[in-house]
């Protein structure tokens, strides 16, 4: 029982990481149909931002707190740049954005290698986040994982509030539901797209900050997470926050429980089979926007 | 003028048009089977053999992606299945030749001294050869059936096929005792009784690969101009309309996906004797996308474009990546951005695009691959 509980908590914390990454993807994928493979490199940018800040601010706690907004801005700015330079030219063929942004991600990885070197680097976690909380009965929760979980939930909350309550959120939802109708109603869809891309990419930066607490920082760190995060979006339903939240935690727990009962590699295969089976039942994902379009 | 038919001989241009395809095919055959083996050293020829394996994959990519609009990002899976099927047989044959019962790596990492049950049938050459093609096709058929039947398409399909590549690579790494893990199956000595150390036999392998490529190109070309080829393009450009006409687009796509998988499997099988290794690093997410980029650069919907693009990109990779690894990565990224972003028809469409520019009509080529 203890093992299962511990394993579930590990799963939930894997899910929290996936969720942080998938949140941004849901936004950009959902609204613009853009498959941004460079999203993983925005995560990397966020992680390196933390690393650089820690070099200049000695206190680990302060630098982490400063890193959160700075990484959001850095990654967001990179996203806007990518959108402005490339993606807006490709709206008519969204599938091709996958390959184009993959090219961008290759270049960004090499850039990171040239600037920071190929080997992984480490940051120091603040003392507050290095320990464990023991709940008795052998169940322990790592502080850093709890922090990530909190960060993920906070991000979901903030994003939900933005989408539900602000004028910007209303515009974003309008564009997701019907781009043409939104445009004729006077919404500057291009500007909304860019803002969405900024927020989505910025969230990747925040995810990068969180990842520095649980793993090394390296040029290819984003690639390790990007496919899983995309699977979360596909299963959750495109453009659906609810779906992403449920799916991220479900996949995380499934993965870690399977890892315990089999091996890491077999668990990956089983999760994939489960996803294909799930899509038989719900080809459009857990939650879908009802539309009359055929495609 | 009237429209009566004339009996005068066809004008040279029309003649050229008529024999363009067979002539081009013959030229390709002469270059691959005649000029290249004469002009290139053993070392260069074995490199070319490797590039031609990638070109075989590109033939399938051109069919599934260029003509069918299916973004196949997991061709590495099929390449790997074919390659592993071949390598398993060759490893067993190598072991048998030296009087061992187990391949060398299993003696190092293996748990016992018995062969795993799923290795045993691969000792039979006919079974192994059949599996290099049938196994990838079966996996593609299984995934494709479930995915296309439920109309999972576009980005969803691309991501699923990519996840499949990731899953296979991770699984192979995890099974070190029976698959060689990260190292893969290496150090393959013989090819159906012929020693691969002998340069003459390496040349033979090259000729087999070149012949297979030419045959598959001819077959693919016939498929392109057949009714099925027309239907495939129709599905790519307007799937719903095809459905309303009474066809089942799922089946049309499934056939293209399965054939492309078979070609990738064959390419993987031929890659093993040509290069002497198959490993997870050759089939994961990154190489799987690499299989697509050659076709994208050359022109995904054009068979010759895709093949030449694949050869050129593979050549550039092995020439540049050793000397300037950093520069090559930037160049590779740039290739994706420029070729896919600004020249969706690939280099094969460059002429058309330039002519249009000069004539001042339109800004780009017709886009392809919208509706996977």
pLDDT bracket for residue B366 (50, 70, 90)? very low
Residue A181 domain-assigned?
Answer: yes
The percent of residues in chain B predicted with pLDDT above 90, rounded, is: 36
> Which of A190-199, A210-219, B241-250, B320-329 shows the lowest mean pLDDT across its residues?
B320-329
> Average pLDDT over chain B, rounded to whole?
85
Helices (H), A137-263: 143-165, 167-177, 179-184, 189-211, 221-236, 241-261
Complex ipTM over 0.85: no
What pLDDT does B371 receive?
A: 39
Residue B35 domain-assigned?
Answer: no
pTM: 0.87
What pLDDT does B48 receive?
A: 93
Residue B58 domain-assigned?
Answer: yes
CA distances from A150 to A11, A210, A214 (A): 15, 10, 14
pLDDT bracket for residue B129 (50, 70, 90)? very high
> What is the count of structural domains for chain A?
1
Question: Which range, B187-201, B248-262, B283-297, B311-325, is most confident?
Answer: B248-262
Residue B92 domain-assigned?
Answer: yes
What pLDDT does A33 receive?
A: 79
Task: Indicate the DSSP class of residue B336.
Answer: I
Residue B63 domain-assigned?
Answer: yes
Q: Residue B254: is its pLDDT beyond 70?
A: yes
What pLDDT does B2 receive?
A: 46
Residue B340 domain-assigned?
Answer: no
Q: How many CB atoms lie within 10 A of CB B355?
A: 10
B110: helix, coil or strand? Answer: coil
Mean pLDDT, rounded, for B13-34: 81
**Residue B40 C-alpha from the chain's centroid:** 24
Residue B29 domain-assigned?
Answer: no
What pLDDT does B8 receive?
A: 55
pLDDT bracket for residue B258 (50, 70, 90)? very high
Residue B371 domain-assigned?
Answer: no
Residue A213 domain-assigned?
Answer: yes
Residue A135 domain-assigned?
Answer: no
CB contact under 8 A, A100 and B341: yes
CA pair distance A36, A102, nearest whole angstrom: 8
> What is the count of structural domains for chain B?
1
Question: Which range, B90-94, B176-180, B188-192, B193-197, is most confident?
Answer: B90-94
Residues of A in contact with B177 (CB under 8 A): none
CA pair distance B153, B145, nearest whole angstrom: 12
Beta-carbon pairs below 8 A across chains A and B = 134
Residues of B in contact with A81 (CB under 8 A): none
Q: Residue B364: is its pLDDT beyond 50?
A: no
What pLDDT does A239 receive?
A: 67
What pLDDT does B267 receive?
A: 96
CB contact under 8 A, A107 and B147: no
Q: Label residues A227-264 b or e (16+ Cβ within 10 Å = b).
A: bbbbbbbbbbbbbbbebbbbbbbbbbbbbbbbbbeeee
Residue A272 in contact with partner chain B when CB distance is under 8 A: yes
Taking chain B, what is the end-to-end CA distance rounded to the nearest angstrom? Answer: 46
Enumerate residue ranges in chain A where pLDDT < 70: 136-137, 239, 289-295
Residue B123 domain-assigned?
Answer: yes
Tell me which residue range forms the domain holding A224.
16-120+144-240
Residue A109 in contact with partner chain B when CB distance is under 8 A: yes
Residue A163 domain-assigned?
Answer: yes
Look up residue A125 and give its two tokens. Answer: 């976690």
Look up residue B258 and give its two tokens. Answer: 């399965």
Q: Report the run of H or E that residue B365 belongs to, with start and end.
A: none
What pLDDT does A263 receive?
A: 80
Q: Residue B207: is its pLDDT beyond 70?
A: yes
Tell me which residue range forms the domain holding B122.
45-285
Hey, of A33, A97, A103, which one would you mutate to test binding to chain B, going by the most B CBs within 10 A of its CB?
A103
What pLDDT does B165 receive?
A: 87
């Amino acid at each position: 029982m203890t093992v299962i509980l511990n394993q579930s908590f590990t799963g939930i914390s894997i899910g929290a990481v996936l969720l942080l990454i998938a949140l941004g993807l849901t936004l950009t994928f959902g609204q613009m149909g853009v498959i941004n493979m460079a999203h993983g490199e925005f995560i990397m940018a966020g992680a390196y931002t933390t690393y650089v800040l820690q070099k200049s601010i000695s206190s680990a706690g302060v630098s982490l707190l400063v890193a959160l907004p700075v990484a959001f801005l850095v990654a967001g700015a990179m996203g806007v740049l990518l959108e402005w330079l490339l993606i807006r030219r490709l709206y008519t063929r969204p599938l091709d954005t996958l390959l184009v942004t993959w090219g961008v991600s290759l270049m960004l990885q090499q850039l990171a290698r040239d600037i920071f070197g190929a080997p992984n680097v480490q940051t120091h976690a603040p003392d507050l986040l290095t320990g464990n909380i023991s709940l008795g009965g052998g169940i322990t929760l790592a502080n850093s994982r709890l922090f990530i979980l909190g960060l993920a939930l906070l991000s979901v909350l903030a994003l939900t509030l933005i989408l539900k309550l602000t004028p910007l959120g209303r515009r974003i939802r309008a564009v997701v539901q019907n781009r043409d109708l939104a445009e004729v109603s006077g919404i500057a869809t291009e500007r909304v797209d860019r803002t969405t891309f900024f927020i989505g990419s910025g969230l990747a930066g925040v995810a990068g900050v969180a990842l520095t607490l649980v793993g090394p920082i390296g040029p290819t760190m984003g690639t390790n997470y990007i496919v899983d995060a995309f699977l979360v979006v596909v299963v959750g339903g495109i453009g659906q926050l609810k779906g992403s939240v449920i799916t991220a935690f479900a996949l995380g727990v499934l993965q870690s429980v399977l890892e315990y009962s089999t091996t890491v590699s077999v668990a990956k295969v089983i999760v994939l089979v489960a996803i294909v089976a799930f899509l038989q039942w719900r080809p459009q994902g857990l939650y879908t926007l009802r539309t009359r379009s055929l495609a | 003028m009237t429209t009566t038919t004339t009996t005068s001989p066809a004008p040279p241009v029309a003649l050229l048009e008529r024999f363009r395809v067979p002539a081009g095919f013959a030229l390709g055959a002469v270059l691959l089977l005649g000029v290249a083996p004469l002009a290139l050293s053993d070392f260069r020829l074995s490199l070319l053999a490797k590039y031609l394996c990638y070109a075989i994959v590109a033939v399938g990519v051109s069919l599934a992606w260029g003509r069918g609009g299916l973004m196949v990002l997991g061709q590495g899976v099929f390449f790997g299945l074919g390659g592993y099927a071949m390598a398993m047989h060759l490893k067993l044959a190598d072991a048998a030749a030296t009087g061992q019962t187990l391949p060398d790596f299993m003696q190092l990492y293996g748990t016992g001294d018995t062969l795993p049950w799923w290795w045993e049938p691969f000792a039979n050459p006919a079974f192994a050869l059949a599996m290099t093609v049938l196994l990838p096709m079966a996996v593609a058929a299984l995934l494709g059936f479930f995915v296309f039947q439920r109309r999972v398409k576009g980005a969803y399909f691309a991501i699923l096929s990519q996840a499949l590549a990731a899953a296979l690579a991770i699984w192979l790494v995890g099974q070190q005792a029976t698959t060689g893990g990260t190292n893969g199956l290496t150090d393959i000595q013989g090819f159906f009784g012929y020693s691969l150390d002998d340069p003459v036999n390496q040349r033979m392998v090259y000729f087999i690969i070149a012949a297979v490529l030419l045959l598959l190109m001819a077959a693919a070309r016939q498929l392109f101009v057949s009714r099925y080829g027309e239907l495939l393009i129709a599905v790519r450009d307007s799937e719903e309309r095809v459905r309303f006409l009474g066809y089942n687009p799922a089946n049309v796509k499934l056939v293209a996906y399965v054939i492309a998988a078979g070609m990738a499997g064959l390419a993987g099988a031929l890659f093993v004797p040509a290069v002497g290794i198959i490993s997870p690093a050759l089939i994961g997410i990154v190489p799987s996308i690499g299989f697509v980029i050659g076709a994208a650069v050359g022109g995904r919907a054009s068979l010759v474009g895709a093949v030449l693009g694949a050869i050129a990109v593979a050549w550039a990779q092995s020439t540049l990546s050793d000397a300037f690894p950093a520069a090559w990565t930037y160049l590779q990224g740039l290739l994706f951005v420029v070729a896919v972003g600004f020249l969706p028809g690939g280099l094969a469409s460059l002429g058309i695009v330039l002519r249009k520019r000069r004539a001042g009509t339109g800004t780009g080529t017709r886009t392809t691959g919208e509706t996977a």
